Amino acid sequence: MAPAHDDSTTSALAEADALTDAVLTWFGSHARDLPWRAAGCTAWGVLVSEIMLQQTPVVRVEPAWRAWIARWPRPVDLAEASTADVLRAWDRLGYPRRALRLQECARAIVDVHAGRVPDTEEALVALPGIGPYTAAAVVAFAYRRRSVVLDTNVRRVIARAVDGEALPTPTLTAGERRRADALTPRDDARSAAWAAASMELGALVCTARSPRCDACPVADLCRWRADGYPGDAHAHRRRTQPWTGTDRQARGRIMAELRAADHPVPEPELARVWPDHEQRARALDGLVDDGLVRREVAVVPDGDPTPPLVSLPR
């Protein structure tokens, strides 16, 4: 026997269905032709795309993803690669620790799952570098099963359309997850399509800074629009991260120099890419601690000691 619903519950369910229907219809005509969405893409290809797309735009990821999958089409291929090759292939995607975590993940897939990417969120989050979002995304996009996929784009669509807020809270809340779960269709195929469609809507139309409300398929259902586009209630909680002159920029310059080198580089020569000695030393120490750089100190029995040599890990 079906559970009884009061009028408000019935109305909410109808609104949720209308929202998902409109977004899915829009997606059918506006979805980008991305290689990790192709019918023949493997679960490994989907997983690699999700790691690469973290904080990196599609336009930079797509050529890197194609080269990566051509070189390492299976987890076992990446698991057996040298760390230096992995970091060079990661190139300028940013946050190179992601490359190391992806290789650790590949090794765990080989060792624990016989080379097959797991198909449950529980098994996926147990892998190195895989969080709840990535696990849910792989279940939805690779295995076409129901999961609640909540990236920044999806959160923004729901915050505006359902909650009437300009932007979601800086951190994911339990209330957000409940609303997202209520919006996610119960059917596996429809749920997976909703995950991709709502993400695409946030990326292309319901953008953070310049939303294209005139092109939005759910403009008539959007509470934020109906309420007159109120401002960001959480603006005071958001932090902006500078780039110029930071340790992050110093780390990036050092990594670029080492990726381009075909031999270990004497540490003092890094002054040409980052002159500030104290900051350069701090950035380099951090890279060594993170396993991204190798420092070698030559032992000289007689004579003056030579400066340390730095290189990518082997």
Taking the C-alpha atoms of residue 51 and residue 287, their distance in angstroms, rounded to an integer, is 20
Q: Tell me, rounded to whole angstroms, the distance of Cα 95 from its chain centroid.
A: 11
Residues 6+ apart with CB under 8 A from 198: 23, 153, 154, 157, 158
Tokens of 15: 């609104």
CA-angle at 247, arms to 242 and 248, nearest 5°: 65
**What does the DSSP assignment read for 253-312?**
HHHHHHHH-SS-EEGGGGGGT---HHHHHHHHHHHHHTTS-EEE----SSSPPPPPEEE-
Map residue 199 onto helix, strand or coil. helix
Question: Active site residue: 50, 121, 176, 267, which one?
Answer: 50
**Residue 159 is inside which H or E element, if any?**
none
Where does residue 60 rank: exposed (0-12), middle (13-18), buried (19+ CB within 10 A)? middle
Q: Any catalytic annotation for residue 50?
A: yes
Q: Which of 249, 204, 233 is nearest to 94 (CA)?
A: 249
Residue type, 268: P
Map residue 107 onto helix, strand or coil. helix
- 309 strand-pairing partners: 266, 296
Active site residues: 50
